[in-house]
Structure 1
Amino acid sequence: MSVVGINREPVELYKILKLEGLVSSGGVAKAVVAEGQVKVNGIIETQKRKKIVSGDIVEFEGQNLEIKLI
């Protein structure tokens, strides 16, 4: 599991995918979320702008990201 440091919360879900380089653009990030390819805390999430906070776990394509406030 990778740890992702954020300096403010909340952060929108699609931005985490984009900033971590898991997708090529914000548009692709929004699309994969809308298609149900992303889980937050083990539950499929389709809200592109879902607010992610410290302690959340984001799963995408076999990668787990633990979100931590720095």
Structure 2
Amino acid sequence: MKNIKIKTDFIKLDQFLKLADVVMSGGEAKVLILSEDVIVNGEICTQRGRKIKKGDIVKVNDMSFLVE
């Protein structure tokens, strides 16, 4: 599991995926999220604008990220 630090109270899921270097653009993030390949705190997430907060766990394929 890789730790990703955010400087604000929350970050939107599509922006988080770019910050974590999972995708290079918002378009790639949209496709990945809509394909149901992103799991947030154990649940499949299809909302690009979902607020990701400190303590959340985001999983994409075989990668896991802890938000700090």
TM superposition score normalised by structure 2: 0.93
Cα-to-partner distance string for 1:29-61 (whole Å, 9 max, x where unaligned): 111111211000011000011000000000002
% of aligned pairs identical? 37
Residues 10-41 of structure 1 show CA distances to partners (whole Å, capped at 9, x for unaligned) of 10001111122111211101111112110000
Superposition misfits of 4+ residues, deviation over 6 angstroms: none
TM-score by length of 1: 0.91
Instruction: Describe the SS at the equivalent of 1:6.
Output: coil
Two-structure CA RMSD over aligned residues (Å): 0.8
Q: Which residue of 2 aligns with 1:25?
A: 25
Q: Which runs of 5+ in 1 are unaligned?
A: none
- Determine whether 1:62 maps to 2:57: no
| Structure 2: tracts of 5 or more residues without a match | none
